[in-house]
Amino acid sequence: MFQYNYKPLSAAILLSLSSSAFALESELEPVVITANRIARTASETLASVDVMTRADIEQSQAQSVQDLLRGMPGVQFSNNGGTGKATSLFLRGSNSGHTLILVDGVKIGSATLGTAPLEDIPLDTVERIEIVRGPRASLYGSEAIGGVIQIFTKRGVQAPSASFGAGSHETYDATASGGFGTANGWVNANASRFSTRGFNVKDGSTESDRDGYSRNTGGVRAGARLGETLSLDAQAQHTEGRNLYDGNPNMTVFKQELYAGNLRYAPTDNYATSLKLAQNLDATNNYKDEVFSSRIDTRRTQANWQHEITLTKGHQLVGGLDWQYDKVISDTAYEHDSRTNKAAFAQYLADIGAFNLQLAGRHDRNEQFGHHNTGSAALGYTVSPALHLRASYGTAFKAPTFNDLYWPDAGNPNLQPEKSRSSEIGASGKQGNFEWQASAYRTNVSNLIDWAPISPGSWTWIPSNISKAQITGLELSTAYQLKATRIALSANLTRAVDRSGGSTDGNQLALRARQTGRIDIDHKLGSWTLGGSLNGVGSRYKEVAHTTKLGGYATTDLRAEYIINTSWKLQTRIENLFDKRYQTAYGYNQAGLGAFVTVRYQAQ
């Protein structure tokens, strides 16, 4: 099944961060919602999952989602020059548009590009992040080929907290949040400001200036229990900012907004239903030397009605209806600027002795590409608390974007969804202070959308369903708590190759390394916590033709935290200790040696 060319690499390239690398005191198995759309323990999900908690986020001292998740099993990134710059995520070797991004159950991102702006999500509002690897289209529909990443924002009664940080490249970060209430009613609010002058990310550019980035965020979330059986949760989040880069245009003013309300009714222990209404705005205004050049806004309105039924002990049904309406508002004239997607899904979960069974299916009806069916099946067996086995199979698809279908003079309205078939086997276990996880998978993707010139030398490019890919991979991770020291490491081997025939058949897909990994060590010493990370990525190519190679690299980061008292702590971080020069996207530099200091306050 797996054919790898093993080459000697540094330990950094073969070792990576497990989900609990920073959680020095994790006793209970994490509960995951994303894998099944209801709460299940990690082993019950029968999927490869990782969870980053609020404690993990703060101890990591990460400044972005990319910074937080880099090196995790199955995760690779391409970034156009540091914090705030365009970021593509490749989960399990799939394309950047093949990972569904959710915020509190709401699909976010651009309907024209088909990706979510991970670089603009402020970590200070995040309570936890769940990463589910493998297809989940049978529950969520389009985009969940590589997997689903769901970001949960803070909810419930939150004590006041604040932080202020400063560091290299004239970077500043200030946050404040807090709320009040009881278990029956609560309100939280947050505000933050992040800015950096950055650095010149592109060598040889005629614009040899700093490419800065700034972002302002504000939001409110509230909830209430309306009696014993009814609860309500509502939120509003606003993010706006400015991004500078080289080219035409060379500045983008962006805005993201999310509004959502969820009503849940649970009249008995065996039945619950919920209704969620939400809207996500992704808006950009582009400029060249401060002169306006273009505007593209996309607005997604969503509704979900979900039911959860316990048939008998160990047997549960989950099902419902999803509705989504996408609207493009732009000075670019699209042939069609709106579309509707309607879907119905159902899932059966069974726990029979040592066995776990999951079956799911979904039917999507889209205004543009018609009907599409997806399904999945998974079986798990618990040998002992130290060994849990699982196997799964699933299909998934990615709907063509508005740019694919209707970009003026180039779109192809006859495009069909990209399709995938995936199989996976896995094992995990925990014994005492030692825990581990291993997964092997294969994904075949067909109908891949490829943009190509209509004739040799033509300036006009159009998309077609002509490409195929095969992805095989192996993920290994382990963590060990040795008294006050936590060691976490894992390895990722990914063979994502073109299977379209022709001269590039068998070549690794663009910007995807075959080997990635990371090792983390954290040690508690009185009021101090000292830690370090070694992250490694193998060589990649700019394009599937393999004409331009990006070298492999390894970076070392150090971090320290000092607990001043029960409310205050001081953190410092040194990034890229040895000032390694490298690129994750061709032509775009990453930051060299840098330092950052943060003071945090948390009311008790």
Model confidence pLDDT, tens digit, residues 502-517: 899 999 999 999 999 9
- Is pLDDT at 52 greater than 70 in this prediction? yes
| pLDDT score for 19 | 36
Count Cβ atoms below 10 Å from residue 5 Cβ, excluding itself: 7
Cα separation of the two ends of the chain = 53
Find tokens 């024209």 and name the residue. 112
DSSP 8-class letter at 46? T
For residue 270, CA distances in Å to 263, 273, 314, 489, 581 come to 18, 11, 11, 41, 57
Closest CA to 332 of 407, 411, 281, 405: 407
Query: Span 25-53, mean pLDDT?
Result: 87
- The reported pTM is 0.93
- Using one digit for the tens of pLDDT, what is the confidence trace for 109-139? 999 999 999 999 999 999 999 999 999 999 9
pLDDT range class, residue 529, cuts 50, 70, 90: very high
- Is pLDDT at 599 greater than 60 in this prediction? yes
- Whether residue 547 lies inside any domain: the answer is yes
Longest Cα separation, the chain: 68
Q: Report the percent of the chain where pLDDT is more than 70.
A: 95
- Is pLDDT at 598 greater than 70 in this prediction? yes
User: Do 16 and 516 touch, CB atoms closer than 8 A?
Assistant: yes
* Strand, helix or coil for residue 124: helix
> Assign residue 71 a region: left if phi > 0, alpha if psi is -120 to 50, beta otherwise?
left
User: Do 130 and 150 touch, CB atoms closer than 8 A?
Assistant: yes
Closest CA to 353 of 376, 311, 381: 381
361 membership: H or E segment, kind and range: strand 355-366
- Is pLDDT at 26 greater than 80 in this prediction? no
Both tokens of 3, joined, read: 């054919």
- Is pLDDT at 208 greater than 90 in this prediction? no
Polymer length in residues for the chain: 604
| pLDDT score for 385 | 82
- Is pLDDT at 15 greater than 80 in this prediction? no
| pLDDT score for 28 | 66
| pLDDT score for 10 | 37
- Is pLDDT at 475 greater than 70 in this prediction? yes
- Whether residue 4 lies inside any domain: the answer is no
Beta-carbon contacts of residue 181 (< 8 Å; ≥ 6 apart): 157, 187
Beta-carbon contacts of residue 382 (< 8 Å; ≥ 6 apart): 43, 354, 356, 388, 389
Which of 304-324 are b and which e, b meaning 16 or more Cβ less than 10 Å from the residue's Cβ? bebebeeeeeeebebbbebeb
> Which is higher by pLDDT, 323 or 386?
323
Query: Span 455-474, mean pLDDT?
Result: 87
- Whether residue 429 lies inside any domain: the answer is yes
Whether the CA torsion 432, 433, 434, 436 is positive or negative: it is positive
| pLDDT score for 320 | 98
Q: Interior CA angle at 95 toward 50 and 20, to 5°?
A: 15
- Using one digit for the tens of pLDDT, what is the confidence trace for 429-441? 999 999 999 999 9
The CATH number assigned to the domain holding 529 equals 2.40.170.20
- Whether residue 2 lies inside any domain: the answer is no
**Is beta strand 31-32 parallel, antiparallel or unpaired with respect to 75-79?**
unpaired
Closest CA to 33 of 303, 306, 422: 306
- Is pLDDT at 381 greater than 60 in this prediction? yes
Burial (CB count within 10 angstroms: exposed 0-12, middle 13-18, buried 19+), residue 287: middle
Distance CA 403, CA 469 (A): 22
The DSSP line for 55-83 is HHHHHHT-SSHHHHHTTSTTEEEEESSST
Query: Span 224-236, mean pLDDT?
Result: 96
- Is pLDDT at 29 greater than 70 in this prediction? yes
486 membership: H or E segment, kind and range: strand 485-498
Query: Span 155-169, mean pLDDT?
Result: 95
Find tokens 């990635």 and name the residue. 516
| pLDDT score for 193 | 97
Domain tally, the chain: 1
| pLDDT score for 183 | 87
Beta-carbon contacts of residue 565 (< 8 Å; ≥ 6 apart): none
User: Do 177 and 186 touch, CB atoms closer than 8 A?
Assistant: no
Query: Span 144-169, mean pLDDT?
Result: 96
| pLDDT score for 4 | 41
Both tokens of 367, joined, read: 């205004």
Query: Span 89-101, mean pLDDT?
Result: 96
- Is pLDDT at 3 greater than 90 in this prediction? no
- Whether residue 493 lies inside any domain: the answer is yes
Return the minimum-mean-pLDDT range out of 63-72, 203-212, 297-306, 407-416. 203-212
- Is pLDDT at 451 greater than 90 in this prediction? no
Beta-carbon contacts of residue 458 (< 8 Å; ≥ 6 apart): none
- Is pLDDT at 21 greater than 90 in this prediction? no
Query: Span 396-409, mean pLDDT?
Result: 94
- Whether residue 528 lies inside any domain: the answer is yes
- Whether residue 1 lies inside any domain: the answer is no
54 membership: H or E segment, kind and range: helix 54-60
| pLDDT score for 12 | 36
| pLDDT score for 9 | 35
Q: Containing domain of residue 541, as a range?
A: 11-602
For residue 482, CA distances in Å to 25, 151, 434, 476, 563 come to 11, 30, 9, 20, 21
| pLDDT score for 202 | 86
Query: Span 41-61, mean pLDDT?
Result: 93
pLDDT range class, residue 14, cuts 50, 70, 90: very low
| pLDDT score for 258 | 98
- Is pLDDT at 38 greater than 80 in this prediction? yes
Distance CA 262, CA 103 (A): 13
* Strand, helix or coil for residue 506: coil
Distance CA 67, CA 119 (A): 10
- Is pLDDT at 18 greater than 80 in this prediction? no
User: Do 388 and 428 touch, CB atoms closer than 8 A?
Assistant: yes
Which amino acid appears at position 497 of this protein?
A: V
